[in-house]
Every structure is written in structure tokens, then in C-alpha cells.
Structure 1
Amino acid sequence: MILRTATRQDLPGIIALLTDEDGVGDPADVEVGEAYERAFADIDADPRNEMLVLDEGDGAVLGYLQLTYVPGLGRGGAERALVEGVRVRADRRGAGLGRELMLRAIERARARGCTLVQLTSNKRRTEAHRFYDALGFDRSHDGFKLTLR
């Protein structure tokens, strides 16, 4: 399994994962609009962000996550890593891909000097919560979100 930085060619596969969480969306059916193009370019150009994909060497996106490195004054001024958009293709779940993806992301954060890895997960995703618990994540905080549009 290859963990690599996402490229523009991965964008349809990433969007398929993010928009069809319980299915296996075909990247060929994904319309990549201007907003997606702009967001990808902005994230890709930001040195505090990484978009990581898992594939088996054939270019098909089987897993995805975004890592954002957040500077802060807490924790002695250390960076923390924020994990967003974790997805594994529905027909490949249960084979350890998500665990591999997360462990590699955690190692990247550790190598960068981060002292904390944090994420949020929708309250309805109970399977995901068990997954994060098994990885050693602690449910230490309640998260709050305010939708602006």
C-alpha cells in the first residue's frame, strides 16, 4: 500500500470518497467544479497542509485524509496536527487500510514535532468512534461547529 501526497489527478477520487461515504462512487462520474479546483490548489500550496492518499500503485484512491499543522501558544508553543476528511472506500473497509492511513499520518505529525493529533467525528459515526478509540484517541473534549452557509 502506497501513502503519497495527493495530486490534481486524484481530485475526482477524493471527491467521490468525501461525497459518497457509504458507497463506492466512480471518480469518472464526479464533476470537478471551480470551487474544488480552487480549494485543492490552496491546500496544496499551503506548507501547513498535506492531503494524503492511499493506493495500491494503480492510482486509484482507496483512502484519504487531510493533515493541517496548527501552531499555537498552548502546549509550550508546539504545533498540533488536525486530521480532517478521513475516508476509506466503502468496499475496502475492514482490511486495515484506515488504520494504516491513520498510523502513517500520526507518524508524519510526530516526525514534524507535533505534540498532539486531534480530530472531530460526527456523533452518528459510531463505527468511526470505535476505530479512533482503538487507535488510542481519547474523547477528551466536546466539539462545536457553527455552520455559516
Structure 2
Amino acid sequence: MILRTATRRDLPSVIALLTDEEGTTGPASVEVGGAYARAFADIDADPRNEMLVLDEGDGTVLGYLQATYIPGLGRGGSERALFEGVRVRADRRGSGLGRELMRRAIERARERGCTLVQLTSDKRRAEAHRFYASLGFDRSHDGFKLTLR
């Protein structure tokens, strides 16, 4: 397995992972609209963001997450890493890929000097919550979101 920065070519696979959580939508059936292309370009150009994919070694995307590095005055002025959109292909879950994706992403954050990794997860994703707990994540806060449209 290779952990690498996502490229524009990976965008259909990433969108498939994010939009079809329970299935295995093929990337060929995903339409990459302008909003996705713009978002990808914006994230890719931002040095405080990286989109990481777990690649089977042949270009097949098996997992994804977006890491955002946030500077702050708390925790002694250190950065923290925020992981969003953590996904592994449904047909490959339970095989250790998610654990490997997270292990490598956490190590990248540590190497960058982050002192904390945080993430949010939809309350309905009980399996994901058990997974994060097994990695040592604590339920330390309640999160709040405000949908603007």
C-alpha cells in the first residue's frame, strides 16, 4: 500500500468514496462537476491542507482523508491536525486498511509537529466510532455544526 497525495486523476475515486459510503461505486460512473474541480484545486493549492489516498500500488484508491493543519494559540502555540472525510472502500473494510491509513496520516501530523489530531464523525456511524476508539481517540467534546445552505 502506498499513502500519497491525491492527484486530479483520483478525484472520481475520492468522490465515489465520499458519496457512496455503503457501496462501491465505480469511479467511471462519477461525474466530476465544476464545484468538485474547484474545491480540489483550492485544497490542493493550500499548504495547510492535504488530500491523502491509500493506493493499492496500481493507482486504485482504497482509502481517503483530508488533513487540515490548524495553527493555534492553545497547546503552547502548536498546530493540530483535523481529519475530514475519512473513508475506506466498503468492499475492503475490516482488512486493516483504515487502520493503516490513519496510522500513516497520524505519523505525518506528528512529523509536522502537531500535538493533537482531531476529527468529527456523524453520530449515526457507530462502526466508525468503535474504529476511532480502537485507535486511541477519546470522545472529549461535543461538536456543533450550522448548515448554511
Q: Indicate the residue corresponding to 1:107 in structure 2.
A: 107
Return the alpha-carbon distance in structure 2 between the equivalents of residues 101 and 48 of structure 1. Answer: 19
Does 1:12 pair with 2:12? Answer: yes
- 1:45-97 Cα shifts (integer Å, max 9, x gaps): 00000100011111111100000000011111100000000000000000000
Q: TM-score, normalised by structure 1?
A: 0.99
Return the alpha-carbon distance in structure 2 between the equivalents of residues 65 and 23 of structure 1. Answer: 18
Return the alpha-carbon distance in structure 1 between the equivalents of residues 55 and 106 of structure 2. Answer: 18
Q: Indicate the residue corresponding to 2:82 in structure 1.
A: 82
Query: RMSD across aligned C-alpha pairs, in angstroms?
Result: 0.4
Q: Indicate the residue corresponding to 2:96 in structure 1.
A: 96
Return the alpha-carbon distance in structure 1 between the equivalents of residues 146 and 102 of structure 2. Answer: 26
Q: Indicate the residue corresponding to 2:60 in structure 1.
A: 60
Unaligned 5+ runs, structure 1: none
After TM superposition, the structure 1 stretch with the greater mean CA deviation from structure 2, 4-13 or 52-61, is 52-61
Return the alpha-carbon distance in structure 2 between the equivalents of residues 60 and 96 of structure 1. Answer: 16
Unaligned 5+ runs, structure 2: none
Return the alpha-carbon distance in structure 2 between the equivalents of residues 8 and 147 of structure 1. Answer: 28
Q: Indicate the residue corresponding to 2:2 in structure 1.
A: 2
Return the alpha-carbon distance in structure 1 between the equivalents of residues 60 and 9 of structure 2. Answer: 10
Does 1:130 pair with 2:126? Answer: no
Does 1:29 pair with 2:29? Answer: yes
Q: Indicate the residue corresponding to 1:145 in structure 2.
A: 145
- Name the aligned partner's letter for residue 139 of structure 2: R
Name the SS of the counterpart of 1:133 in structure 2: helix
- Name the aligned partner's letter for residue 86 of structure 1: V
Return the alpha-carbon distance in structure 2 between the equivalents of residues 3 and 77 of structure 1. Answer: 28
Q: What is the aligned residue count?
A: 149
Return the alpha-carbon distance in structure 1 between the equivalents of residues 133 and 31 of structure 2. Answer: 35
Return the alpha-carbon distance in structure 1 between the equivalents of residues 47 and 55 of structure 2. Answer: 23
Q: TM-score, normalised by structure 2?
A: 0.99
